[in-house]
């Protein structure tokens, strides 16, 4: 085979492009010699005296060119850890700066002279094999790893080539692409439009409309200079023939010339058994969720990372290059050692995750009481309140499990639960868990858009819901076979696409025994509140849920007579798993502020509750409505033995207020998060002693509960946490990110490979640890003090500063309900700005605080901190998260504060 390669000089200077990368490669493609423009970083590596120890073979789609991979090329050249990756990215023929072909003037689906799919695979083979010979070993191909990377139709071509060359391919990566369209589905609307009649040549060749439209798909506008660089090879209609030809080669039906080849490609791709990574922009109007679902089925071993909010050009919407390099470092580690003293190590190399061998399956406590006719659960949201016994709950959940398995549910199938908290949800949840399904719980507090994003991300095979949820599922096009909670009439079933109901499932005779899941099978996917970005799906296995149940049972001395009123969504479902009676108060569990004192007291009376669990926002409203309590209700509150508050750090003032409402109860504040629902614990007296005994700042959340270990990753002057972890005495009084290990932590984030990998990149003592993004310090007595979130750290000229420490002091100032500390100015030299929300009944306007309040805040802080306060502002209301109504959105407050300080007339944020 004749092969020549020479440097190429592209016309004009392109942003973020190194001319040293450009090569013109002439090869025999089987139908003659063709010249390709190729991005190749080998000359740049050799100029630095480096030889590659890995090669990335990247291929663009339509209407882009190898410019798409400039970020990957630059990242690979600058990455000093692990392998040295060479990037080879050809421009396909008729595209970019490669040779133009002679074909029909007007592109049509059956036109002549086009490069069809099979020929593009052949072209790719000819170019990359020729260039791979530059670093080939004795057997004719490089002895180092080779990984393919593709996007759009370049994804199909590169995956097909990889599937047919598994003898030299070690891994595959694909961005948004699609290899199979089910017969019952039509082509995506943008493609249907582009392929329709005269629109095809007009939009793709005669004008650059198709190109311009593609470049406007994204989170935000692509900078004009980057758009111009993408358009540079396609300035004239004579240079755009390949764009039209590429669109025309989309197989629309079995008569299309490339249809059979695409079917064969899809079948071949299913045989890829190498490591795989799928990076996906969910807002892509061309390659929708069904294409990702199909790829996940063909490549079940694939790691998946969804870049929420990203669209078709996912690499322009986010830093895909860093994600790809991180995946390559983990899957194909080089010989370069980690920095001395660092604890970073891929989770793949960890000895094990923390395990609790004594943890039961989460439904074992429920099954142990299957002969008990006493009340197991009371739902106060129904009129009249609805009670079920342990015997009924066990029988119904068994029936649901058997019915689901008879209907075809397989172990590991995902089941989205669109059921409001109460007895229905409890029965359905435990039925799904017994059947081996994975319960997907995304509460309505996320809103319709947030729930749609969450459900589509989890890609359930089943949906079980009440009518409002089923209506939303139908309207938003959520995936999954649908089951209603209650019986529906024929018209409703047809309109909602419902097969059957839970009522029918639970009553159907079960002949086959329930096929139970294994401890290491996924059990639930719980979604975070979305207060720090798009809600993330958190996976828990049955073993980890069982470990959580054991921890709660031991920590709070749970026994057979214990009962609780749970006004906090995750814990409202745990009662049967603990073997205790549960009461759901008359409230919207996803809106904590709807819990009133009377509703809570009635729940306590209905279940003879000894425990209460709710979020700080819920308790604040209970306190605010306490005047409405009757004497009987006050007596009910006085009979409670244990009051728990979680969901956000709880200040001492709120704990003291709770002690007045529940005079005979122990008041405790466990600390946790969706990723680890209980990590530390402390009672009110412990918090008071910690505050009185020391000058520590922040919110004291106590010491780790049994089997939980906590380390600290110190913050540097830029607010970035270190790689190395500090434990024991070395971690005392060091401001840093908390890193935890426990048997009941998450198994991982769902569909977020990079996020998950980053969160558990540490191993210590042979265990995988989780980075929490919470910051603070550990005092000499081993108590944990929370000082905020990592993304809210202020970087002052004196060093990093956690806002929670200052806020805990400001919150004690009269007239202040709560506060938020934000930074103003450039990072590294940020000024401290305090924003306060006035106490109820205090008359203040949003904007600059009155001088008296400003002086009071500054005086209070001066006793504890050396920091100057640049300004004190008042906001009559704080933006908070949608689940807890407690977590302050400091990002929005920071933007608002900056506008106020610039003199803009703005209301409350």
The reported pLDDT for the residue numbered 697 is 81
597-607 vs 631-638: helix crossing angle, rounded to 10: 70
Tell me what percent of the chain is helix, strand and coil, each rounded to the nearest 5: 35, 20, 40
Q: Distances from the Cα of 846 to the Cαs of 843, 849, 905, in angstroms? A: 10, 8, 10
Cβ atoms of residues 473 and 402 within 8 Å: no
What CA–CA distance (Å, rounded) separates 296 from 533?
A: 25
The reported pLDDT for the residue numbered 876 is 87
Helix (H) or strand (E) holding 56: strand 54-59
Terminal CA-CA length for the chain? 67
- Rounded to 5 degrees, what angle do the CA atoms 715, 741, 674 make? 85
Cβ atoms of residues 163 and 269 within 8 Å: yes
What CA–CA distance (Å, rounded) separates 764 from 343?
A: 7
* 89 Cβ contact partners less than 8 Å away, ≥ 6 residues apart: 38, 39, 40, 57, 58, 59, 60, 66, 68, 69, 72, 73
CA 681 to chain CA centroid, Å, is 27
The reported pLDDT for the residue numbered 138 is 53
* 423 Cβ contact partners less than 8 Å away, ≥ 6 residues apart: 377, 378, 379, 382, 386, 388, 393, 584
* 902 Cβ contact partners less than 8 Å away, ≥ 6 residues apart: none
The reported pLDDT for the residue numbered 188 is 65
Residue ranges in the chain modelled with pLDDT below 70: 1-3, 5, 104-106, 109-111, 137-140, 182-197, 335-353, 510, 530-532, 569-570, 589-590, 880-886, 905-908
The reported pLDDT for the residue numbered 53 is 94
Exposure of 362 in the CB half-sphere (CA atoms within 13 A): 34
The reported pLDDT for the residue numbered 607 is 94
Encode burial over 461-474: b for 16+ CB neighbours within 10 A, e otherwise: bbbbbbeebbebbe
Phi-psi region of 408 (alpha: psi -120 to 50; beta: other; left: phi over 0): left
Residue 59: strand pairing partners = 150
Backbone angles phi, psi at 595, to 5 degrees: -80, 120
The answer to whether the peptide bond before residue 63 is cis (omega within 30 degrees of 0) is yes
Q: Is the dihedral of CA 726, 731, 734, 740 positive or negative?
A: positive
Instruction: Determine whether 296 is exposed, middle or buried from the number of CB atoms within 10 Å of its CB (0-12, 13-18, 19+).
Output: middle
Torsion of Cα atoms, 430 then 436 then 442 then 443, to 10°: -10
What CA–CA distance (Å, rounded) separates 651 from 192?
A: 58
The reported pLDDT for the residue numbered 321 is 97
The reported pLDDT for the residue numbered 212 is 92
CATH fold label, 3-331: Rossmann fold (3.40.50)
Architecture of domain 676-744+751-792: Roll (2.30)
* 859 Cβ contact partners less than 8 Å away, ≥ 6 residues apart: none
The answer to whether the peptide bond before residue 384 is cis (omega within 30 degrees of 0) is yes
The reported pLDDT for the residue numbered 143 is 85
CATH fold label, 793-909: GMP Synthetase; Chain A, domain 3 (3.30.300)
Q: Where are the alpha helices (DSSP H) in 652-810?
A: 652-661, 684-693, 753-759, 803-810
Cβ atoms of residues 103 and 112 within 8 Å: yes
Domain ranges of the chain: 3-331, 364-543, 676-744+751-792, 793-909
Q: Where are the alpha helices (DSSP H) in 765-818?
A: 803-810
Q: Distances from the Cα of 442 to the Cαs of 381, 417, 431, 455, 458, in angstroms? A: 19, 8, 18, 7, 10
Number of helices followed by number of strands (H, E) in the chain: 32, 39
* DSSP string computed for 665-701: SEEE--EEETTEEEEEE-BHHHHHHHHHH----SEEE
Backbone angles phi, psi at 719, to 5 degrees: 85, 10
Q: Write down the CATH number for the domain with range 364-543.
A: 3.40.50.980
What CA–CA distance (Å, rounded) separates 295 from 272?
A: 11
Q: CB neighbours (10 Å) of residue 407? A: 15
Give the model confidence (pLDDT) of 215-265 as tens digits: 988 777 899 999 999 999 999 998 999 998 888 888 878 888 898 999 999
* 782 Cβ contact partners less than 8 Å away, ≥ 6 residues apart: 703
Instruction: Determine whether 54 is exposed, middle or buried from the number of CB atoms within 10 Å of its CB (0-12, 13-18, 19+).
Output: buried
Q: Distances from the Cα of 299 to the Cαs of 102, 321, 714, 784, in angstroms? A: 37, 22, 39, 43
- Does 793-909 match 3-331 at the fold level? no
Q: Is the dihedral of CA 882, 888, 893, 894 positive or negative?
A: negative
């Amino acid at each position: 085979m004749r092969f020549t390669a020479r440097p190429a000089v592209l016309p004009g200077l392109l942003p973020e492009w190194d001319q040293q990368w450009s090569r013109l490669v002439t090869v025999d493609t089987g139908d003659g010699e063709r010249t390709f423009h190729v991005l190749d970083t080998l000359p740049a590596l050799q100029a630095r005296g480096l030889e590659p120890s890995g090669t990335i073979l990247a291929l663009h789609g339509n209407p882009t060119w190898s410019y798409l991979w400039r970020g990957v090329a630059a990242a690979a050249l600058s990455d000093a850890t692990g392998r040295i990756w060479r990037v080879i990215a050809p421009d396909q023929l008729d595209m970019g700066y490669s040779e133009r072909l002679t074909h029909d003037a007007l592109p049509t689906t059956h036109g002549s002279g086009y490069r069809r799919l099979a020929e593009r695979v052949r072209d790719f083979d000819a170019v990359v094999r020729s260039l791979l010979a530059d670093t080939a070993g004795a057997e004719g191909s490089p002895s180092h790893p080779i990984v393919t990377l593709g996007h759009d139709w370049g994804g199909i071509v590169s995956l097909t080539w990889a599937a047919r060359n598994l003898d030299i391919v070690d891994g595959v990566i694909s961005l948004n692409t699609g290899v199979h369209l089910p017969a019952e589905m039509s082509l995506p609307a943008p493609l249907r439009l582009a392929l329709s009649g005269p629109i095809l040549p007009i939009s793709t060749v005669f004008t650059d409309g198709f190109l311009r439209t593609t470049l406007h798909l994204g989170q935000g506008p692509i900078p004009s200079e980057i758009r111009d660089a993408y358009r540079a090879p396609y300035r004239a209609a004579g240079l755009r023939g390949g764009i039209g030809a590429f669109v025309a080669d989309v197989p629309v039906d079995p008569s299309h010339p490339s249809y059979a080849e695409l079917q064969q490609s899809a079948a071949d791709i299913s045989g890829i058994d190498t490591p795989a990574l799928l990076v996906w922009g969910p807002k892509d109007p061309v390659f929708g969720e069904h294409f990702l679902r199909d790829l996940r089925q063909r490549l079940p071993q694939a790691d998946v990372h969804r870049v929420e909010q990203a669209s078709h050009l996912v690499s322009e919407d986010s830093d895909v290059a860093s994600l790809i390099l991180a995946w390559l470092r983990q899957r194909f580690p080089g010989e370069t050692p980690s920095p001395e003293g660092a604890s970073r190590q891929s989770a793949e190399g960890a000895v094990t995750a923390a395990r609790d061998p004594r943890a039961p399956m989460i439904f074992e406590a429920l099954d142990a009481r299957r002969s008990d006719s006493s009340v197991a659960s009371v739902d106060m949201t129904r009129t009249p309140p609805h009670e079920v016994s342990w015997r009924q709950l066990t029988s119904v959940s068994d029936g649901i499990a058997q019915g689901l398995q008879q209907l075809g549910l397989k172990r590991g199938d995902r089941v989205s639960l669109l059921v409001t908290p109460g007895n229905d949800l409890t029965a359905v949840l435990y039925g799904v868990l017994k059947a081996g399904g994975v319960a997907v719980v995304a509460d309505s507090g996320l809103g319709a858009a947030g729930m749609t994003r969450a459900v589509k991300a989890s890609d359930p095979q089943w949906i079980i819901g009440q009518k409002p949820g089923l209506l939303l599922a139908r309207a938003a096009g959520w995936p999954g076979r649908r089951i209603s909670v209650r019986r529906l009439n024929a018209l409703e079933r047809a309109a909602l696409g419902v097969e059957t109901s839970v009522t029918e499932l639970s009553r159907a005779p079960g002949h086959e025994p329930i096929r139970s899941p294994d401890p290491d099978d996924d059990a639930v996917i719980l979604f975070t509140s979305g207060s720090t970005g798009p809600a993330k799906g958190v996976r828990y296995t049955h073993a980890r849920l069982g470990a959580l149940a054991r921890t709660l049972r031991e920590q709070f001395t749970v026994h057979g007579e214990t009962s609780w009123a749970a006004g906090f969504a995750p814990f409202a479902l745990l009662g049967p798993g603990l073997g205790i009676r549960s009461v759901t108060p008359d409230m919207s569990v996803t809106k904590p502020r709807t819990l009133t004192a009377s509703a809570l007291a009635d729940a306590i009376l209905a279940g003879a509750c000894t425990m209460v669990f709710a979020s700080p926002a819920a308790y604040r409203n209970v306190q605010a409505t306490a005047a409405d309590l009757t004497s009987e209700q006050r007596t009910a509150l006085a009979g409670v033995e244990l009051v728990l508050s979680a969901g956000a750090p709880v200040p001492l003032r709120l704990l003291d207020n709770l002690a007045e409402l529940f005079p005979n109860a122990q008041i405790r504040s466990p600390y946790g998060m969706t990723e680890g629902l209980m990590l530390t614990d402390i009672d009110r007296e412990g918090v008071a002693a910690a505050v009185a005994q020391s000058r520590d700042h922040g919110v004291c959340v106590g010491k780790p509960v049994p089997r939980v270990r906590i380390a600290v990753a110190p913050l540097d002057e830029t607010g970035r946490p270190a790689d190395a972890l500090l434990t024991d005495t070395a971690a005392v009084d060091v401001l840093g990110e908390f890193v935890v290990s426990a048997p009941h932590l998450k198994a991982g984030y769902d569909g977020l490979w990079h996020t998950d990998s980053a969160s558990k990149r540490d191993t210590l003592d042979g265990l995988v640890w989780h980075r929490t993004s919470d910051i603070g310090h550990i005092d000499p007595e081993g108590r944990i003090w929370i000082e905020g979130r990592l993304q809210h750290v202020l970087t002052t000229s004196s060093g990093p500063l956690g806002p929670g420490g200052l806020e805990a002091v400001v919150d004690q100032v009269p007239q202040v309900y709560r506060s938020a500390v934000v930074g103003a100015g450039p990072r590294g030299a940020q000024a401290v700005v305090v924003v306060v929300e006035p106490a109820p009944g205090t008359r203040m306007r949003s904007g600059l605080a009155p001088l008296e309040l400003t002086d009071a805040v500054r005086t209070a802080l001066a006793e504890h901190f050396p920091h100057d306060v640049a300004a004190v502002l008042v906001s009559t209301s704080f933006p908070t998260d949608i689940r807890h109504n407690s977590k302050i959105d400091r990002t929005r407050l920071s933007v608002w504060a900056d506008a106020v300080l610039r003199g803009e007339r703005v209301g409350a944020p």
